[in-house]
Structure 1
């Protein structure tokens, strides 16, 4: 006699093409002070095949809808150049006790009137995305940070950056 029940799989794997609610709330551009410390890793590959990483906080990420993510990057960052060349990037992060990896198709957004930050704004569409977790271990965080010294100035800058990302996304009709 065989046991008809399937063995429990230790790995939970979810594929998605729209941001789950918890992720959408994380990237909604609101309550930035309460989300300080969250870090996402933006990965890109340059023309030499080298992986470039930029660590981003919630003040540099904005999801205007369920399938896209707008990103603010410094123009001198190697990842910015790599994304401009390839049009692709991957975002990895921990949220809601799961590890997320999202492949993004990237395009530039127009600059925003009155924005003197010098940042480059990009629009990413979800190409493929997955979340993984295991039942025997709960992910409590990924890479995290604490604002030091000029934390209020950083939060103020993030508020402006998110506003500019919102304006750039709206101007692009996204």
Structure 2
């Protein structure tokens, strides 16, 4: 019995937990809208709760996330996604992902953005502010990835679409700040 409690005690001390209300520099660099080809495979999970209490998830790439500053995040979602409806109704979401060997979960307050002029993408744009964020890692194991993917077939077309999406998202975010 003492062995397991000693082990639990050691494991508890091995947890590094950092709370933040601004994007850490390494995370913000992932969401800066630049060098998308170098960031393919990264996936973040956007979680929300719908009116029936069901958790809804949208898996997002760097082509759908943009951090214009240290406290906010622009998000581009497909209108038919169940998470889109849940988020626009509740104004709340959580974003989780793995970055630089740590697990991140960020609680967000979310408001819809109007589409930028000339945007024909059909996407829904949201502006989220960090309510609170937390990064966790342990000393005895290194996270090497979360949910990841590889672009297949028309990867260059996907990258081009992401670049267009992010330009529209950046315009929508900029317009909201005028």
TM-score by length of 1: 0.95
Partner of 1:149: 153
Query: What does residue range 112-151 of structure 1 map to in structure 2 within 5 Å?
Result: 112-151=116-155
The equivalent position to 2:100 in structure 1, one of 85, 90, 96, is 96
- 2-structure distance, mates of 1:147, 1:49: 33
Query: What does residue range 10-159 of structure 1 map to in structure 2 within 5 Å?
Result: 10-159=14-163
Cα offset for 1:114? 1.0
Unaligned residue ranges in structure 1 (runs of 5+): 1-6
Cα offset for 1:96? 1.1
Q: Describe the superposition over 1:77-109 as per-residue Cα deviations: whole angstroms up to 9, x where unpaired.
A: 000000011000000000011000000000001
Moved over 2 A (4+): none
Unaligned residue ranges in structure 2 (runs of 5+): 1-9
Cα offset for 1:69? 0.4
Cα offset for 1:45? 0.2
Q: Say which SS state the counterpart of residue 9 (structure 1) adopts.
A: helix
TM-score by length of 2: 0.92
Give the count of matched residue pairs. 168
